[in-house]
Structure 1
């Protein structure tokens, strides 16, 4: 997931929530594999913090340790309570000002890669930033129990290690990236890597956070956005080029990913480019 802190200037930001103006005092929160775009209004300066999902789940586990039996409970809790893929947090200029020195120090600590001797300082800075930001996050109202059974013994959290992506997931992702306009099916992709469709979905979601067809949709949306910006081709023709024969369906998928229609997106980027040229 990403936390994008606006430090100066402003921009028009669009994602699943539609079009929103962001300025100093705003923080954009994006879940992994969430499409987004931005057009500066004059100029905009941001600092972005990237957080590994498993690291965040570990933090949730310890935050609510009394409620959970193991880390899987924390993962379910996280999925249920923090299910909004894109948010704009209006924390205000005063709170944003508090973040700036912490963000600067975090950035300086990350320039030369991980520094074990400075790990605790970086952790403390991150927690200070999250302490300001998290209260403004939108959570769902669903209540997830710890599923504690009468005979269940609480388990110690596992020592997580990063595992290499399954070769099948990498192969399928590469196939989709190489030819996103092809009319792929899960059955066809599964046969290529000798898995069942259900196994492929599980392996692919574990690797990329999305099912194969959702991943394909994301790539097509990205490609469509690039063509809308860089060409004057009609939307219907662009949709066909990226693999959607139905222009109306393409528009719905595009809007679902970026929060605006293809025509509105083109108008936004063309207006911004014209203003920059002027």
Structure 2
């Protein structure tokens, strides 16, 4: 099993579509060569060589390469990211809980595609390649300072291009709210009861779940389940179930000839209109449009 680190980088080439998938971390993706279409609740976005994609946690996304796409991705644990916000805005916040709340206000756009200028890109790529090499080496502890230095250099070049919201926050203004970042490790929730609840929803998405049924299955009260599930996953149990059903719908639309109506029933929805609305919300297109789009890629 790969050793967990809060900062890692990889370069890879993909020729086949993958997803929909959701991550419990922050990903910064640099497209090195080729192109791909990304789609989710942000709609459809074409990314090409030179594009940089900023992907926050709990965003459902699918990637469809056009022939092939080569990219480097820097992955940050949410706590690691929040810690950087804490020190950057230490004059404004009193603790990391404040920093977590401030981060959600500063970066409300969890999906962004940006293009940095050519000269900045030339500076980024060698640092990115070295970060990938060090990440693969497995010597995170020994090379921690150098890896952080490389990441900070990359982040500094990206910063002017990232869309943020101006927040004038002071200690007295901040509400001390615990959010998902405090419970996340290994890019997934560690709480056993949350993992169990998510597993049940993924294992039986077609079941007519009630909050009471799910809570009893993991030995929590309904209110406890709501709180701990949202804290770990950034979604309520039923928002998570909706995401699971959309992922499954997309799989059937890609890989079977079943009608949309049959797929809707198969994944657990009783209303086609509700299913279509949920699918469009997360994938940026209707089920029929998605099937035609994916058929066009073949």
Report TM bin, short chain. Answer: 0.7 to 0.9
1:246 aligns to what? 271
Bigger fraction of residues in strand: 2
Superposed CA offset, 1:45-100 (max 9, x none): 11111111111110001001111111111111111221222111222444333222
Q: Which consecutive residues of structure 1, in runs of 5 or more, have no partner in the other structure?
A: 150-158, 274-278
Superposed CA offset, 1:133-175 (max 9, x none): 23222223554432279xxxxxxxxx99959722211211111
Deviates more, 1:54-63 or 1:181-190: 181-190
Of 207, 219, 237, the match for 2:244? 219
Bigger fraction of residues in helix: 1
* 1:272, distance to aligned residue in structure 2 (A): 0.8
Of 244, 251, 257, the match for 1:232? 257
Q: Which consecutive residues of structure 2, in runs of 5 or more, have no partner in the other structure?
A: 1-25, 175-181
1:270 aligns to what? 295
Superposed CA offset, 1:199-227 (max 9, x none): 11111122222221111111111111111
Are 1:2 and 2:22 an aligned pair? no
**Any conservation in 2 of the 1:24–1:96 contact (CA below 8 Å)?**
no
Residues 144 and 107 of structure 1: CA distance in aligned 2, closer, same or farther (over 3 Å): same
Deviates more, 1:119-128 or 1:90-99: 90-99
Are 1:182 and 2:243 an aligned pair? no
Aligned pairs for 1:148-163 within 5 A: none
TM-score (norm 2): 0.82
| Pairs aligned (count) | 264
**Any conservation in 1 of the 2:78–2:184 contact (CA below 8 Å)?**
no
Residues 15 and 148 of structure 1: CA distance in aligned 2, closer, same or farther (over 3 Å): closer
Residues 24 and 182 of structure 1: CA distance in aligned 2, closer, same or farther (over 3 Å): same
Distance in 2 of aligned mates of 1:114 and 1:218: 36
Are 1:87 and 2:118 an aligned pair? no
Residues 266 and 93 of structure 1: CA distance in aligned 2, closer, same or farther (over 3 Å): farther
2:10 aligns to what? none
Structure with larger Rg: 1
Find the residue that maps to 2:199 and give its secondary structure.
Answer: helix
Are 1:260 and 2:293 an aligned pair? no
**Any conservation in 2 of the 1:25–1:95 contact (CA below 8 Å)?**
no
Aligned pairs for 1:7-156 within 5 A: 7-141=32-166, 143-147=168-172
Residues 255 and 58 of structure 1: CA distance in aligned 2, closer, same or farther (over 3 Å): same
Residues 68 and 119 of structure 1: CA distance in aligned 2, closer, same or farther (over 3 Å): same
1:172 aligns to what? 197
Structure 1 segments (4+ residues) deviating >4 Å: 159-164
**Any conservation in 1 of the 2:183–2:232 contact (CA below 8 Å)?**
no
* 1:179, distance to aligned residue in structure 2 (A): 0.4
